[in-house]
Amino acid sequence: MAQADNNNAAASATSFETARVGCGPRFDSAMTPLVEPLSPGLYIVATPIGNLADLSPRAADILSRADAVAVEDTRVTAGLLRHIGVKRPMIPYHDHNAEGMRPGLIARMATEAVALVSDAGTPLISDPGYKLVRDARAAGHAVVTIPGPCAAIAALTLAALPTDRFLFLGFLPSKQHARAEAIAEVAAVRATLVLYESGPRLSACLSALAEGLGDREAAVAREITKKFEEAVTGRLSTLAARYADAPPKGEIVVVVAPPEPPAPASADDGDAALVEALTRLPAAKAAGEVARALGLDRKALYARALELKGER
């Protein structure tokens, strides 16, 4: 199947990788393929975010058997393919050519296995791919995922912050006003926040987060899975000061703690709310409403509601 690629319109793109050393199906003496061909469709393949040993055996297998690999940067993926000792046809697919390349890729999936990789990590996560998946599904092609490294998830495992609910923000806008607006939008969200940032912008971003969210606990995870991997934790303002004069090198994920839960309501809060609720509702309903709103004990509120109404 791979041999047919050269006739395809998408394959004629100027930067199409035509080298074929070591690729294509291999056969035994009875001409039985030694390796099962992959079924046609789209294969979303996660690749390492630094340490090449993190490429899963399944990801390597899919990449070595795909008829073509859609890539962000042919030089980056060529290095990865070299690492696993295969050469596959590569088709550039990135933010600047995606609209033009997508129809050709979708057409190929009818008869070929097309793998999608990004430069690092999981495709579609702050990387191209979602429209390719959408159109592949709409065309009735199989879509298969080969999960693996993702900087956001890896950073969550290092940050020592709650992971039961998290919100991934990707890259915040770089302009100050737009960034402040984006931060304000999520200030009340009861979840750990995860975002990607660059070294030069890190300190300003941390200051903006402190201003918009309050001085929460946070972590800066840097160069994950690489030689200089580190995770520095502290309050947002402390981290902003730390990086103000020395912007860190390398790739960065910022993780921010959720907002503190509100202070528990007091009996006085309960009384005030109950008095108001009793002007509209019977005692049982008023107690139920206030209990739900303030997290107070419903039975105690009911007893107090009867007292307030002079029924006890």
Binding residues for ligand SAM (CB under 6 A) = 49-50, 118, 120-122, 125-127, 150-152, 196-197, 221-226, 251-253
Q: Shortest Cβ distance from residue 47 to ligand SAM (Å)?
A: 9
152 vs 240, beta carbon nearer ligand SAM: 152
Q: Which is nearer to ligand SAM, 106 or 120 (CB)?
A: 120
Q: Is 178 left (phi over 0), alpha (psi -120 to 50) or beta?
A: alpha
Positive/negative CA dihedral, 145, 149, 155, 158: positive
**Residue 167 three-state SS:** strand
CA 194 – CA 191 distance, rounded (Å)? 9
User: Which residue, 121 or 270, has its beta carbon nearer to ligand SAM?
Assistant: 121
Q: Minimum distance between the CB of residue 253 and ligand SAM, rounded to whole angstroms?
A: 5
CB of 67 to ligand SAM, least distance (A): 23
| CB closer to ligand SAM, 58 vs 309 | 58
Q: Which is nearer to ligand SAM, 40 or 163 (CB)?
A: 163
| Choice between 61 and 73, CB closer to ligand SAM | 73
Owner of token pair 């993702």: 150
The nearer residue to ligand SAM, 70 or 296, going by C-beta atoms, is 70
Give least dist CB 124 to ligand SAM, A: 7
Integer Cα distance of 76 and 228 in angstroms: 21
**How far apart are CB 21 and ligand SAM at their closest, in Å?**
29
Cβ at position 54, least distance to ligand SAM in Å: 10
Closest approach of ligand SAM to the CB of residue 286, in Å = 50
Q: Which residues contact 274 (CB under 8 A, 6 or more apart)?
A: 286, 287, 290, 301, 304, 305, 308
Token code pair at residue 90: 């590569």
What is the C-alpha to C-alpha distance for residues 198 and 172, in angstroms, rounded to an integer? 10
What Cα–Cα distance (Å) separates residue 120 from each residue in 9, 84, 124, 233, 246? Answer: 27, 15, 11, 25, 26
Q: Residue of minimal CB distance from ligand SAM?
A: 121
CA proximity to 1, closest of 29, 35, 30, 45: 35
39 exposure class (CB count in 10 Å sphere: 0-12, 13-18, 19+): exposed
